Structure 1
Amino acid sequence: MDMIKKIKGFADLLPPVSNAYAFMEQTATRVFSLYGYDELRLPVLERTELFARGIGEETDVVQKEMYTFPDRKGRSLTLRPEATAGAVRAYIENKLYADAGSVTKLYAYGPMFRYERPQKGRMRQFHQIDVEAFGSSAAILDAEVILMLGHFLTEIGLNKLSFEINSLGCRECRPVYLKTLADFLATLPEDELCEDCRRRKSSNPLRVLDCKVPRCKELTENAPQLSEHCCPDCKDHFAAVLDPVNAAGLTYTINPRLVRGLDYYTRTTFEVVSGDIGSQSSVAGGGRYDGLISALDGPDLPGVGFACGMERLALLLAERIPPKPDFFFVVLDGTGLSTSLELAQSLRRAGLSGVTALEAKSAKSQFRQADKANARFCLILGQSECESRTVTVKNMENGQQETIPMADLADYMNAR
C-alpha cells in the first residue's frame, strides 16, 4: 500500500521555517497594535459569490485559480483565495460600521488557496498577513498604512526592499482611461500578445499593463498612462498620500504600470518587491478600494489595506539565525529531574526560554543535545548541587562555569 503524501502545491511547515512564520505573526500583532489595529479571525470557506462579486468576475483569480465546489445542498463554496473580500463581508454582516464616523482597523493572518503552478515563493496553499482599515477616505490613512507596512518589514529585519506606488484613479475618471487604454490595445498585433493578454485586453485591460511576458511589456511600453488621465481630486489625493510618506523618509518609486491583480482597487495602490527571490518578486501589496463595501451590499464606505505573502517573506528570512534557547538543564542524577523542572518553570516565568532533560543520561550525551539546541547556558544538576541547593552554570560560548544558589538563578540568568 502506497504511503499517503501531501498534495502538490501544499507544504508541511517544519522548524525552523515554522518558527519564521510564528515570528512574523508575533511581530505583526505587536506592530499593528501600536497603530490601533485589532485581530480578525476569518473562516477559510466562503460562498463563491463573495469572491466573484468582490474580486471581479474577469480576474484570473476568479476565472482560473479558485478552489470551488458544491456542498451537499448544492451551494457553491470556495476556499478563500485572499482575505479582503472576507474581511469586508465580516464588516458588513456584523455591522461594524454602526459607529458612524469611526475607522475600523483590523488585521488577520492565515492560509489562502489558489490553483496555480507551484513554484518558489508561490504555493497552492499559501499564507498571508492581511490589514484592512474601513471608514475613511483620508489620504493620510493611505500614508499611515504604507508606513505601517514599512515599520513591520523593518521589525522583522528586512531593510533591502523596494516600495512602488501608483494611483489608479477613481470611479469617475478611471472609466475614461480604460476606454483610452482599450483603444490603444486594439491596435497591437494580437498574435504577438500572450494568451492571457489577448483575453484581458477586452475583459480587463488594466491587467495587460501588469503582464510579465517580455514581448507584452515591449508592446505596451508606450501605452497611455493612468496618471495623465486622473481627475484633479485623484491627483490631489495622491499628492496628499506622498507628502507624509516623503516626510517619514520612506524611499519609493512611482510605477505607472502598477495596477495590482484585483478589480476592487481605486486610487492609491502599492507593492513591495525584492530582487532576491526570483521571478515572484512581490512580497507585499495593497491599496485603496472605495467601492468594494457597497459592491457587497454594505454602506458606501471607503477602505484601504494590504497583504504580505508569508512564503516569500520566509524566503528572505531564511538566513536569520534562529533564536537560541537561554538554557538547557543537564541532569546527572535522577533525583534532580523534578528539581530541574521546578527551576525551569521559574526561569520561564522570568521570561527565559529553555529545555530540561527528560532522564538522567550521561553528561556527554546531554551536552551534545545542548550543542544541537544551540543553548546559551547549560545548567548542571548533579547530586552535590541538589544537596547544596545550587546549580552549576556553564557558558556555552566561552566554557566558563560558576556555581549559583538556586534562589538566585533567575536573577543571574536575566542579568546575562
Structure 2
Amino acid sequence: MEETIVIVGAGQAGGEVASSLRQQGYAGRVVLVGDEAHPPYQRPPLSKGFLLGKLQLAQLYLKPEAAYERAAITLRLGTRVDAIDRAARDVVLHDGSRLRYDRLVLATGGRARRLSVPGTDQGRLENLFYLRSIADVGAMRAHLVAGRHLVLIGAGYVGLEVAAAAVELGMKATVIDVAPRVLSRVTGPEVSAFIEGVHRERGVTLRLSATVREVAVDAAGRAAREVVVATGGVEERIAADVVLVGIGLVPNTELAAAAGLEVDDGIVVDERARTSDEAVLAAGDCASQPSAYAGRRIRLESVPNAMEHARVAAATLLGKPAPPPVVPWFWSEQFGMRLQMVGLSTGHDRCVVRGSMEKRSFSAFYLAGGRLIAADVIGRPADFMASRKLVAARPVIDPAALADEGVPLASLGA
C-alpha cells in the first residue's frame, strides 16, 4: 500500500513539512489536517499589515489552495483531530472518523495564553480579544475606531505591534505589563528603553511593573469597561473601549500527552524532530528541541524556527541529512521601524552599542564572558546579516572594536 504521512496542524510548520516532502521527491500520500478553514498562512502580519487592512486575506496565504492540489497534498481544513491511536496508527477526527498514517507529524503550534482575573471569568466579553488567528482579527477590527481607547495587556511583540497599529488608526493606546520594561523576555535593558521611548514619543501610555487585578465589566456583564491595575501598591482604574491580551503562548501538547508521548513545556523531540515514538515527529512552536547554540533544550516561538524545524522533520522522514542548525532569530515591526534579533541575550553581562540610538540606526551586541551571544539590530540590515554569522561562531570579541563603526563587523571574530 502507498505510504501515508499525516501532518496535524496546518500552520507555517505543517505547511512547510508538506511542501518540503514534495520538493525533495517524496512520492507517498501527504495529508495536511488543520482546524482552521484557511490553508497555511503567515501569522506575523496579523498584528501589523493585515490588522490595518494593508494586506488582503489572499496575501497572507503561503500558497494558493490550488498549489497544494497540484503538489498532490491533501488538505483537510476545518477539521479537528481529537486523538491519536498509536497502536492502530490512526488519528481520530472530531466527527468520529479515522485517518490512517504510517508516519505522523505534529505541528500543532500554540494558542494565546488566557488572562485569569476577576471579570474574565464571565465568559466571552464582546470587546476583549486575543490575537492568534485570522478569525481573531476579523472579530477585533470593527472595534478599532479612531478616538477609542485600546488597552493592551502585555508589552511583548503582540502588545507593542498592535499599540503601534492602533496609533496609526488614530486610537489612544495604553500598554500594561507586570515587568519593569518592555520586551523584557527578548531584549536587554538598553533596547527596551529605546523601544519604550519610541512608543512614548508616539503617544502610547505605558504602565510597567503593573499587575492587572480585575477587568471591570458593564452592568450587563457583556463588555469590559475598565482594567484595574496595581503599581507599587497604588490601584488605578483605566477606562477601556477595547482590550487586547497578549501575555504569551501555550503550546498545544494535549494530543501528544493523551497519546502517551513525552511532554515537557512542549512535545519532547530529539535533534531530528523525532518524539518518543519512532513513527511520530513534532515541529515548530509545539516542540521542545535540543539546541547546540543554547546548550540546553528550548522551545522557540518564531516563524524562522517553525520553517527551519519543519525542514529538519522533512529530511528525517526522507532519510536525508538534516540541514545545519541555525541560530535563533526573530523580528518585529513597530511604527515603520524593524527590530531584528539573533541569538538569545539571556545571561549576558555586557551590552555594546554600535551606531546611534538617536538616529534609530544601531546594533546592540550582547556579550557573556567576552563572547558574543546575541544582537539586536535596528535600521541596519547589513549589520544583522553579519551578526547572524558572528553569533553562530560565538567568538571572543574586543568590545571597543565591536563599538567602532570603522571596524567592519565581518572582520571580527576571524
TM-score, length of structure 1 as denominator length: 0.24
Task: Report which of the two has the higher share of strand.
Answer: 2
* Higher RCO (C-alpha 8 Å, min separation 6): 1
TM-score (norm 2): 0.24
| Higher radius of gyration, 1 or 2 | 1
